[in-house]
Amino acid sequence: MSAGAATSNAPTGEALEAVRAAAQEDIRALRNRIGRLDDDAIDLILRDARSHYAWTDRPVSDAELRTLYDIVKMGPTSMNSCPARFVFVRTPEAKERLAKSLKPANVGKMMGAPVTVIIAHDLEFWQKLPQLFPHEDRRGHFSGKPDYAAETAFRNATLQGGYLMIAARAMGYDIGAMSGFSNEIVDQEFFAGTSLRSNFLCNIGYADESALFQRLPRFRFEDVCELI
């Protein structure tokens, strides 16, 4: 199939018009039902939320992780490419493997968390575009262009990692993202022989707040924003 052609599972004609009309009605209904999140919800997911470093032993179930992913997957990505891949590290054996990659200060943070997610991206994500973007074959944008594919995968999987963090907080969990580790070791340990590459780690669970310190400063709007 030539690049730009529609794939066989894409609706056309009246069927396409029907699904578009349904999508438009769905978003109108959503906006009528929920104009915006209330201040408590915004506080929970961002404004008053904190990154955490210590954890209680309260578990996170497989069913809850599936629910979390089902929320995360709905976040927007370029061409609906969905390049992120998530490895939920929870067994003692898997945690020992992951610990090999961590800076010493981060080992305890990870080992104490019920779940540590490896947020990774698939460099060959574009092979799945006929499934995810069925109305036009966009594989030609990436075939034979590894640098462009890697850039697109990294950017959009990073977005998906952000969605995971906010979704976890929205579900009532605490999180602690980590970048103090060796991507090379993670990739060797978990992704050898594949097209997956690690980006960052995120602990998920229920925090022990006694490890918190004071909130660090943030920039003012005037320091980092422009209105033009």
198 lies in a domain? yes
In a domain, 223, yes or no: no
What range does the domain containing 26 cover?
9-48
* Same domain flag for 154 and 79: yes
Q: Which pLDDT does position 141 carry in this prediction?
A: 96
Task: Give tens-digit pLDDT for 22-68.
Answer: 999 999 999 999 999 999 999 999 999 999 999 999 999 999 999 99
Inside any domain, residue 216: no
* Domain co-membership, 92 together with 196: yes
115: in domain: yes
Same domain, 38 and 116: no
Residues 114 and 100 in one domain: yes
Question: Do residue 106 and residue 39 come from a single domain?
Answer: no
Up-side HSE of residue 135: CA atoms within 13 Å toward CB?
A: 9
- First CA to last CA across the chain, in angstroms? 45
178 and 134, same domain (yes or no): yes
pLDDT tens sequence across 65-124? 999 999 999 999 999 999 999 999 999 999 999 999 999 999 999 999 999 999 999 999
Do 118 and 151 share a structural domain?
Answer: yes
User: Do both 44 and 106 map to the same domain?
Assistant: no
Q: Assess whether 44 and 155 both reside in one domain.
A: no
Number of domains into which the chain is organized: 2
Q: Are residues 95 and 165 in the same domain?
A: yes
Q: Which amino acid is at 54?
A: A
Listing DSSP states for 122-163 in one string gives ETTGGGGHHHHSTTS--GGGTTT-HHHHHHHHHHHHHHHHHH
Q: What is the largest distance, in Å, between two alpha-carbon atoms of the chain?
A: 60
Question: Do 120 and 159 fall into the same domain?
Answer: yes
The answer to whether residue 4 is domain-embedded is no
Of 107, 143, 104, the closest CA to residue 125 belongs to: 143
- Specify the pTM: 0.93
Residue 109 lies in a domain: yes
Percent of the chain with pLDDT over 70: 96
Is the model's pLDDT at 1 over the cut of 50? no
In a domain, 110, yes or no: yes
pLDDT for 8 equals: 64
Confidence band for 9, pLDDT divided at 50, 70 and 90: confident
Give the tens place of pLDDT for each residue, 160-203: 999 999 999 999 999 999 999 999 999 999 999 999 999 999 99
